Structure 1
């Protein structure tokens, strides 16, 4: 399989409580952060989907909605809903607030798809990045089991299935725009 034949899903369903406003709608170079991410990921993936609780983008993107039987906010719900949407394939998952990810990082993780892993995610010296990597759709049932037990942490999957943590040195590549000052800094560095 080639990277260009695969799908990418950008997560936009969180509450953005630390940012104080919807991260996906923050402005970057005359576009929103989600438009920035979709345009960027479209360079490398065949299909780009946006994961949301509700379609807040007025049908601008291909949408995967969170399963409505789960009414709370959780990355595990998003992951379950995404993986349930796809059949027998890997999908690349990326949080909307990780704008520094580029082709080099994606290809480094992609290289492990031919091995026997079900999850391939980025790892830096200080953090595992569960919302940046490849997940196999067969994991949907395990995600559902966790949700039914009210277990919300995606990291719980790592002990259940064969997972590859791909090592990266540059922490800034995996920057998350959680706070307004991080967003302002990212914007200023783009100029």
Structure 2
């Protein structure tokens, strides 16, 4: 089992989906959030969900991290709340809408994160800023960014010692943002599990 904590980000607006994507049914689970949680729970000793509100019935409330700021949708604000829970340790951060990232890729990110503050994934020409290892010692940078009203994850990465690891499989890092993405993801997940 992986001993660093895993945090699944579930506090986005889902504006392109037009409904809360964390609660969409997914494969054999009642929701996408539940699927991602149970999938990763097979590998991580401790797994948490970061959210704006308590909307999940499958998780122990001690493992739910509620954003302190409910009004503004910003991953920087979510990270600020998350890092208050963890002192001086690395954390694996992943978004709820990327259910295809393999455990092999996650282990590669962890392996490459030993000498840096942030280690994130990249495919072709896209950096996946919210799929990677973040060290909680960057919390001061985050506080400074919030004070300056800067909310870009890319800015946070560049302000710290970072590494970007390239992966060859684009589909593995697919994000479910739109109804079309959702339909495509359901086809993909059925193919994966029915071929095993």
**Number of aligned residues:** 187
1:26 aligned to 21, 24, 27, which one? 24
In the alignment, does 2:64 pair up with 1:63? yes
TM-score, reference length from structure 1: 0.93
Alpha-carbon shift at residue 72 of structure 1 (Å): 0.7
Structure 2: gaps spanning 5 or more residues:
191-196
2:127 & 2:42 partners in 1: Cα distance?
Answer: 25
Q: Is the 8 A contact 2:28 2:35 kept in 1?
A: no
* Cα deviation 1:69-127 (Å, max 9, x = unaligned): x631111111111122100100000000001111111011111233x200010011221
In the alignment, does 2:176 pair up with 1:186? no
2:92 & 2:124 partners in 1: Cα distance?
Answer: 22
Match of 2:154 in 1: 155
Instruction: Please show how residues 51-130 of structure 1 align to structure 2 within 5 Å.
Output: 51-58=50-57, 60-61=59-60, 62-68=63-69, 71-114=71-114, 116-130=115-129
Q: Is the 8 A contact 2:10 2:49 kept in 1?
A: yes
1:73 & 1:142 partners in 2: Cα distance?
Answer: 19
Runs of 4 or more, structure 1, over 2 Å off, are: 58-61
Structure 1: gaps spanning 5 or more residues:
none
Q: Is the 8 A contact 2:9 2:50 kept in 1?
A: yes
TM-score, reference length from structure 2: 0.91
Measured on the aligned residues, the alpha-carbon RMSD in Å equals 1.4
Q: Is the 8 A contact 2:11 2:73 kept in 1?
A: yes
